[in-house]
Structures are given as structure tokens and as C-alpha cells.
């Protein structure tokens, strides 16, 4: 009985309208960015528009799209990921319209895959991966060293991020998210293991944020101060779930404060299990909670909502009672939901009526199609 009443209170909390990063949202449910690798020509077609529209129609407040490549020859690596540049922009305009038609809001997630790229990878075969330093094998099965970025590479990539953000604004998107998590390019600059530069882009934790800071500043210069700008960061890396950007709240502040000073309006704290304490020796606050406490900014929490385990294989619906504490302590503004929404577009409706048990479980086979 208690679980049912807690879940009802949590659902009520999630469906409260909110203002986050300057954006008015009808509720606090965001769709987490999830690459679907189903755009073989790098373009989002009608099926992509229908996929996001369907989540918005069923109540998601804010859609954050799958990672989309910025318009730089080194950005891409995985096949089937859409670009947010060139001819793909017309398709993104239609995706935006489809989501707005049903009352949703939408940000594209802007992505550069950094050292994940190898020169044999499409679509720009022969172009090597670039990163902050020459790194070998930061991702498994990669034998080719990343080329360390020159100052002109850095300037070009910053320009590509800012162009994508300006295009998003022009196309009527509600904001953008920078993918600065999971070991990809921006995160490689944050992480001492992959950033061994001796120039102004390397150094201590605060100095390693400079690349991100310059991207944010250039975006702000192009889109103005009011356009919502989210930045997704993580402790964990795709290459290693156990590594950390910060071992203490003070170290986390060293990373986050320069980003906020530069103009980020929403911080998206990516974890695999949102309820885990970020720094157990200090308190039981989550990573989202610490992010809010340190910066006072709007915060998105994510990781395991509505499912019983992390990972890409399979997971069953699970209670949302675990949200009670962070919700009552106002540790977050928005809850991003990934696999549960991929599996069941009607997830928000089912949560609202207390029918979580009826949600479709998540299985890997769902990744094969865009339903």
C-alpha cells in the first residue's frame, strides 16, 4: 500500500509544470538522448519524426534527440547516426514541427565522437579521429592513434558546434544539448587520462574545461543569452564505467562552475543509477543533487528510471518509489527516461494512472526498429 501511495505522489511530482533553463515545460519528464543508428544516409526521415512525435503525444515534456553529428569531417564514427548539418537540417525541421504539433518541446543533442573515430570509418573514410592528445586505444579494439588537435582544429570544431546550435535556433528548436559525457570529444578534454596537453586546453581540472567553455561562449555569441543550453556530463566513460571526473564535491565544482559561468543553463548529470550517492563519504546526495547544490542551475537526472537494471540487454518495469527522496529534496528539475520510453511510448500515461506494471519491458531486440 505504501509503495502505491509513494508512486502516486512521485507521479504527481513528475507531472507538475516547470520552468527549466528558461524553458516552460508542461511536466518534468524528458526523453533521454538515445542513438538508434537507423538513419543510414545520415538524414532523419519521416520514421524519425513519427518516433519522437509519438513520445511527445503520450506526454513527454522535453525530447532530447539521439546524438547528432555536428558538421565537421571528424565528428562521425558510428554508422546510422544522423547529422545536424547540411541536407539533414530539412529533416530536423520536420521532426521539430511534428513534436511541437502535439505540445512537446525538443532539443537536438550535438555530438562529436572524438577518439572513437578511426580513419577506416564511414562516412568520411581516410579522415583520422582527433582528440585532445595523441591517444592509443582509449576505446577497445581501436589500433590507430588519435591525432592531437591543433589550434586550428579546435577553432573549426568550436565553429561547427556553434553553427549547429544557431541552425537549431533558426529551425525553431527549443534549445540544444551538448554531449559532453561518456568519453567522447568534450569529455576527453575534461578527463586527465585523455587530455595531457601542455597548452591552455590542458592542466588542472578547471583548465581542462576550457575547450567546453569556448564552445559554450561561441554558442552564446551566436544564439544570445536566452536560448536554453543544456550540457550533459558524466563521471563514467564508455571505455570504463568506474572512472570519475571528480572524487569530491569540490572537484565537481571545479568542472561545473566554469561551464555555468560560460552560459550553460541546464546541466544533465548522466549516471547509470540515479539514486546512488555521488560522494558517499560526504552525504547521500545524488550526482544531480550535488550538481544543483553546487551550481543552482536547472538539472536533469537520469539513469534507471522505471527499470530494474542498467545495460543494453533487457530490463523489467520497476517502481518509481526510489524517486521519492530526490524529488522531495528537490535534487533535480527534470527526470530523463531512456530505455523505458524506448520500450513503451505510453510510459508517461501509464505512470500517471499508476499502471507501471503494464509498461512494456525493455529488450535489446527493440533496438532493431523505430516504433
Active site residues: 184
Q: How far is the CB of 68 from ligand FMN (least distance, A)?
A: 8
Binders of ligand FMN among residues 118 to 137 (CB under 6 A) are none
Among the candidate windows 4-12, 190-198, 202-210, 300-308, which touches ligand FMN by CB under 6 A?
300-308
Output the CA–CA distances (angstroms, integers) from residue 192 to 189, 205, 252, 260, 343, in the order listed.
Answer: 7, 8, 14, 21, 36
CA-closest candidate to residue 317, choices 355, 352, 349: 355
Least Cβ distance, residue 53 to ligand FMN (angstroms) = 19
Position 180 contacts ligand FMN (CB under 6 A): no
Binding segment (CB under 6 A) for ligand FMN, from list 131-139, 159-167, 204-212, 298-306: 298-306
Specify the residue, 147 or 237, whose C-beta has the smaller distance to ligand FMN.
Answer: 237
Looking at residues 47 to 86 of the shown chain, list those that interact with ligand FMN (rule: CB under 6 A). 66-67
Dig out the grid coordinates for 68 from the structure. 547528432
- Using CB atoms, what's the residue nearest to ligand FMN? 338
DSSP SS3 for 222: helix
Binding mask 308-327 for ligand FMN (x = CB under 6 A): --x-x---------------
- Is 358 a binding residue for ligand FMN by CB under 6 A? The answer is no
- What DSSP state is assigned to residue 283? -
Rounded to 10 degrees, the C-alpha dihedral 39/44/50/56 comes to 110
Q: Does 174 bind ligand FMN (CB under 6 A)?
A: no
Q: Using CA atoms, how far apart are residues 35 and 248, in angstroms rounded to an integer?
A: 31
Q: Sign of the CA dihedral 110, 204, 146, 240?
A: negative
Q: List the one residue from 208, 292, 339, 350 that touches ligand FMN (CB under 6 A).
A: 339
From start to end of the chain, where are the E strands? 18-20, 23-25, 29-31, 62-69, 105-111, 130-131, 147-148, 176-179, 229-234, 266-270, 298-302, 314-315, 334-337, 362-363
Closest among 70, 238, 2, 163 to 10, alpha carbons compared: 2
Q: Which stretch binds ligand FMN (CB under 6 A): 30-38, 51-59, 208-216, 325-333?
A: 30-38
Are 187 and 180 in contact by the 8 Å Cβ rule? The answer is yes
Q: Which is nearer to ligand FMN, 288 or 337 (CB)?
A: 337
- Return all residues near 69 (Cβ < 8 A) that are at least 6 apart: 42, 75, 76, 81, 82, 83, 84, 85, 111, 112, 113
The site for ligand FMN, by CB under 6 A, has a size of 23
292 binds ligand FMN per the rule CB under 6 A: no
- Residue 232 near ligand FMN by CB under 6 A: yes
- Closest CB 302 distance from ligand FMN, rounded Å: 5
User: Residue 109's closest CA among 70, 61, 75?
Assistant: 70
30 touches ligand FMN (CB under 6 A)? no
Q: How far apart are CA 360 and CA 293, in angstroms?
A: 35
Nearer to ligand FMN, 20 or 300 (CB): 300
344 binds ligand FMN (CB under 6 A): no
Of residues 9 and 367, the one with the C-beta less far from ligand FMN: 367
35 lies in the binding site for ligand FMN (CB under 6 A)? yes
Q: Return phi, psi of residue 25, to 5°.
A: -125, 145
Q: Does 183 bind ligand FMN (CB under 6 A)?
A: no
By CB under 6 A, is residue 28 in contact with ligand FMN?
A: no
Phi, psi of 240 (to 5 degrees): -165, 115
Q: Based on the shown chain and the rule CB under 6 A, indicate whether residue 269 belongs to the binding site for ligand FMN.
A: no
* Residue 338 makes contact with ligand FMN by CB under 6 A: yes
- Indicate which single residue of 9, 34, 43, 171 sits in contact with ligand FMN (rule: CB under 6 A): 34
Distance, in Å, from the CA atom of 50 to the CA atom of 330, rounded to the nearest integer, reads 33
Which among 31-39, 98-106, 220-228, 322-330 is the span making contact with ligand FMN, rule CB under 6 A? 31-39
**186 binds ligand FMN, rule: CB under 6 A:** no
Contacts of 240 (CB under 8 A, 6+ apart): 183
Binding site residues, ligand FMN, CB under 6 A: 32-35, 66-67, 109, 179, 181, 232, 270, 302-305, 307, 310, 312, 337-340, 367
Amino acid at each position: 500500500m505504501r509503495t502505491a501511495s509513494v508512486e502516486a505522489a512521485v507521479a504527481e511530482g513528475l507531472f507538475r509544470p516547470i520552468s527549466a533553463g528558461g524553458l516552460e515545460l508542461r511536466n518534468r519528464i524528458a526523453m533521454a538522448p538515445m542513438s538508434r543508428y537507423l538513419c543510414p544516409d545520415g538524414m532523419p526521415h519521416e520514421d524519425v519524426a513519427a518516433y519522437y512525435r509519438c513520445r511527445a503525444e503520450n506526454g513527454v515534456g522535453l525530447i532530447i534527440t539521439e546524438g547528432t553529428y555536428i558538421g565537421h569531417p571528424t565528428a562521425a564514427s558510428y554508422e546510422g547516426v544522423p547529422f545536424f548539418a547540411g541536407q539533414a537540417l530539412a529533416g530536423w525541421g520536420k521532426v521539430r514541427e511534428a513534436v511541437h504539433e502535439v505540445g512537446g518541446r525538443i532539443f537536438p543533442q550535438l555530438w562529436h565522437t572524438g577518439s572513437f573515430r578511426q580513419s577506416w570509418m564511414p562516412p568520411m573514410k581516410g579522415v583520422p579521429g582527433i582528440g585532445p592528445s595523441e591517444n592509443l586505444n582509449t576505446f577497445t579494439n581501436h589500433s590507430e592513434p588519435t591525432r592531437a588537435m591543433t589550434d586550428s582544429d579546435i577553432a573549426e570544431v568550436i565553429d561547427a558546434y556553434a553553427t549547429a546550435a544557431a541552425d537549431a535556433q533558426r529551425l525553431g528548436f527549443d534549445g540544444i544539448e551538448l554531449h559532453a559525457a561518456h568519453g567522447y570529444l568534450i569529455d576527453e578534454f575534461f578527463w586527465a587520462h585523455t587530455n595531457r596537453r601542455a597548452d591552455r586546453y590542458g592542466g588542472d581540472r578547471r583548465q581542462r574545461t576550457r575547450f567546453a567553455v569556448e564552445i559554450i561562449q561561441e554558442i552564446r555569441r551566436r544564439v544570445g543569452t536566452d536560448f536554453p543550453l543544456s550540457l550533459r556530463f558524466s563521471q563514467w566513460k564508455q571505455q570504463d564505467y568506474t572512472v570519475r571526473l571528480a572524487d569530491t564535491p569540490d572537484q565537481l565544482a571545479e568542472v561545473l562552475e566554469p561551464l555555468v559561468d560560460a552560459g550553460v543553463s541546464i546541466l544533465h548529470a548522466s549516471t547509470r543509477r540515479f539514486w546512488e550517492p555521488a560522494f558517499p563519504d560526504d552525504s547521500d546526495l545524488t550526482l544531480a543533487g550535488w550538481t544543483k547544490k553546487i551550481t543552482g542551475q536547472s538539472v536533469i537526472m537520469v539513469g534507471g528510471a522505471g527499470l530494474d537494471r542498467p545495460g543494453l540487454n533487457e530490463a523489467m518495469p520497476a517502481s518509481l518509489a526510489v524517486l521519492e527522496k530526490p524529488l522531495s529534496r528537490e535534487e533535480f528539475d527534470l527526470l530523463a527516461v531512456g530505455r523505458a520510453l524506448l520500450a513503451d511510448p505510453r510510459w508517461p500515461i501509464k505512470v500517471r494512472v499508476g499502471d507501471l506494471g503494464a509498461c512494456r519491458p525493455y529488450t535489446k531486440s527493440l533496438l532493431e526498429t523505430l516504433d
